[in-house]
Structure 1
Amino acid sequence: MKEPIADTEPLAPFEFGPFGRMLAPVTKWMAIAGGLVFVALVIMSIISIVGRKLGVGPVPGDVELLQMWAAFASACFFAYCHLHQGDVKVDFFTEKFPAARVHLMDACGSLLVAMFAALIAWRTTALALASKESGETSAVLAWPVWIGQALMVPGFVLLAIAGVYMAAMHLQAREGGTA
């Protein structure tokens, strides 16, 4: 629950500029793809659980599939969430601050998100390349694990881009420009 303090106005939502209008649909489609993957994982889990109960057996490698694909699907949501300011924020102590200060703090937060996402994208790429080089495979299905790792990278790259974009939007709004 977020209830603004009576004598403060919440920050107005941003209207995206040209780059944001291009970035927003990309993040939306990534989030939709992640959602569809989660729906497929739920269906697979139900089939696996029912199969166990009926004595038919589980879907082979169901845990491996869940791990690989849930990581990918989760990474698909982050950029959309950040771009639409859906991150979890503890902002109760900033509600009385002037809007310019809040925008500056949000810009710093968005830059930290961008740096963290870039770091995760870089290290996940390095992990995927090392896993591919070593030929590491999953235990049950013997699938190359680098594929699941590599699938997460675009989501984190997109989050880094969204973080930089939102930092710029907050700085622009702080300067009094139209966001």
Structure 2
Amino acid sequence: MLHSLIARLAQIMALLGGVVLCLLVILVCVSVAGRELGDAAHSGMIGAVGVWLLDLGVGPILGDFELVEAGIAFAIFAFLPLTQLSSAHARVDVFTSGLGPRVNNALATFWSIVMAVIIVLITWRLFVGMQDKIRYNETTYLIQFPIWWAYAASFAAAIATSIVSIYCAVMRVMGRRIA
């Protein structure tokens, strides 16, 4: 029961991260295309159509890199729960592959505990950072996007990652396989 809830949480977060990542790809493509069309219109390469495009406001999306920065931060945290639950982190097992299952299980348990501690620490620091951004009313330079919104989205995903990481560490300590 608990494992299915944790797995569902991890899947939902990964799905949200994927949706945000796809939207960011579209945003970048539209912004780059707009930038190229705007440059072509300004240079006169496309004639009267260029004047019409400029009148429509065709060009790059203002603050696209600010939105990408915020969205990528969320997406990274959103993918971590599923990565942790499925033990899909990148690993180099050149030295550990020959150590046997007991040692490898002990190492996996150790690293699950370390991951849980680090993720909880990062989550706490994200919360503290978000509080600072709210207190000082910091915004991005171009579109005046409140920075704390990005912190809040990342913090929510980090909470989900903390829950999954703690669950994985506890299951490993109890000797249960997760993935």
TM-score strictly above 0.5: yes
Give the structure 2 partner of residue 12 of structure 1: none
- Residues 172, 178 of structure 1: 8 Å contact kept: no
**Larger CA Rg, structure 1 vs 2:** 2
**Cα gap change, 1:166 to 1:178, in 2 (>3 Å):** closer
Residues 155, 178 of structure 1: alpha-carbon distance in 2 compared, 3 angstrom cutoff: closer
Per-residue displacement from partner, 1:13-69 (whole Å, max 9, x unpaired)? xxxxx3221100111010010001010011111110000111121011101111111
Aligned match of 1:21:
4
Q: What residue is the counterpart of 2:17 in the other structure?
A: 34
Distance in 2 (alpha carbons) for counterparts of 1:169 and 1:80: 15
Are the counterparts in 2 of residues 103 and 171 from structure 1 also a CA contact under 8 Å? no
Q: Please show how residues 144-159 of structure 1 align to structure 2 within 5 Å.
A: 144-159=146-161
TM-score between the two structures when normalised by the length of structure 1? 0.83
| Offset, 1:157 | 2.0
Percent identity at matched positions? 28
| Aligned residue type for 1:34 | G
Residue 87 of structure 1: SS of its match in structure 2? Answer: coil
| Equivalent residue for 2:130, pick from 128, 131, 134 | 128
1:87 is aligned to 2:89? yes
Stretches of structure 2 that go unaligned for 5 or more consecutive residues are 39-57
RMSD: 1.5
Which protein has the bigger helix share?
2
Q: Does 1:103 align with 2:99?
A: no
**Distance in 1 between residues matched to 2:100 and 2:170, nearest whole Å:** 18
Q: When the two structures are aligned, how many residues end up with a matched partner?
A: 159
What is the TM-score when the length of structure 2 is the normalising length? Answer: 0.83
Partner of 1:54: 37
Q: Which runs of 4+ in 1 moved over 4 A?
A: none
